[in-house]
Amino acid sequence: MTIPVKNAKNYNDYSILVTLTVLEKDVPILSVNDIETVYSGEEVPDSLISGSVTVDGAEVPGSWSFKEGEARTNVSDSGAKTVIFTPDDREGIESGETTLKLSITGKEVVVKADNKEKTEGEADPELTASAEGLLGEDTVEYTLSREPGEEAGTYTIIPSGDREQGNYLISFKPGTFTIKESTPDPDPVPTEDGKTSEPLKVPLAESGDNYAAPLDNFAPTGTSNGNIRKLQLDFSHVKESGVDPADLKMTAINGTKLTTKEKLKDKDSVKTTGGIKAKVNKKTLTAVITCKGSGSAAFTMADGNTYTVNFTVEKPKAQKASKTVAKGSAPVKKTVTELFGTTIDSGELTIVKEKTSGQASVLANKLIIDPKEKDSIKLQYKYLNKKYKMTVKVK
């Protein structure tokens, strides 16, 4: 190589010898895996890139990174992305580029309507809800409405909106709107002797659960032994309640067993009719009543008092009229009675499976179906230790 000297009379051109050595680099074979992740509010990190890099079948150590400028934060950024592999041995192995498919799915958010209440005659308070799962200052859109009605009772507050909203997937949970009575307690009921007494009330079980149907005037008490619930016939409160002991009314589910709490006069002190069967324990002088169908049982107790219980026996099953629910603009509410045909609704109603949209829920043992629900909902009703199932189709 000659270096010329210009515009100088006292110097000659200068020649040097330069030796160039060209080193060969191996070109690696790249294989990268696609990435599926959930929106987190942050860029998808390089650490999620995985794959294999080989030269002549041997693994090449190095690091992966997204190419500068590749958007990878929001759901809308999903798609093909260029990634770069940088080998640890940069002198002997070339860096490489390839592409992968990045899928960012929405983060689950639950919008739950807040419970509200008012007294009859008052204006409705503002309906509100909370959104659980949002990141930072992000927001989602939804509307709130409640079932119509101004009489005392409970109504459902229904939140609704689009399932997919930007970086979020929204599900909705209803709330309860309670309207309290504004009228005073009823006046005492006059009796034949001119005195007054409080109106008769259906007895409640000791556990606080009500095993009676609305028209019953007598209800069993409940005790628990592990996961087994045992029902007892307790006549001790009948005299105090003023209910006619010869006309006690009770609703029971087919197969229910009840045990008398007090002792019988003797082993022959139970007389049954219809589908009511009795078995007396000769040692304890207590009777186990099995409800196979409607009928009655007359008891003579050790204290000499007699009681007759008229049983209405129901068998829960899926109601034909409820298998198909018309899809409409207003939320649909179905009670246990409408769904399974039993007036005893103190069991546990649950949704076992929804086929698609997740817009159905259970509130106060009522099935609430959002107008956007479609396809089918599998339900289970558990009463005592028995389970009943059905599928509701929405069209």
Give residue-wise pLDDT tens across range 362-375: 777 777 777 665 66
What pLDDT score does 229 carry?
63
How many other β-carbons are positioned within 10 Å of the β-carbon of residue 88? 10
Fold (CATH) for 320-394:
Immunoglobulin-like (2.60.40)
Residue 320: what are its φ and ψ, rounded to 5°? -60, -40
User: What pTM, to 2 d.p., does this model score?
Assistant: 0.46
> Where is pLDDT greater, at 60 or 120?
60
DSSP letter for 276, please.
Answer: E
Longest dimension (CA), the chain: 147
Question: What is the rounded CA–CA span in Å between residue 354 and residue 358?
Answer: 6
- Work out the percent of the chain whose per-residue pLDDT is above 90: 44
Question: What is the rounded CA–CA span in Å between residue 265 and residue 267?
Answer: 7
Q: What is the mean pLDDT of residues 9-24?
A: 71
Please state whether 342 falls in left (phi above 0), alpha (psi between -120 and 50) or beta: beta
Sign for the CA dihedral angle at 348, 349, 350, 352 comes to positive
For residue 46, CA distances in Å to 68, 86, 162, 192, 241 come to 11, 12, 32, 88, 74
142: nearest Cα among 161, 126, 157 = 161
116-125, 205-214, 348-357: range with lowest mean pLDDT: 205-214
Right CATH for 29-105 from 2.60.40, 1.20.58, 2.30.30, 2.60.300: 2.60.40
Fold (CATH) for 108-180:
Ribosomal Protein L9; domain 2 (3.10.430)
DSSP letter for 342, please.
Answer: -
172: nearest Cα among 219, 209, 130 = 130
- CATH code 2.60.40 region(s) in the chain: 29-105, 320-394
Question: What is the rounded CA–CA span in Å between residue 39 and residue 41?
Answer: 6
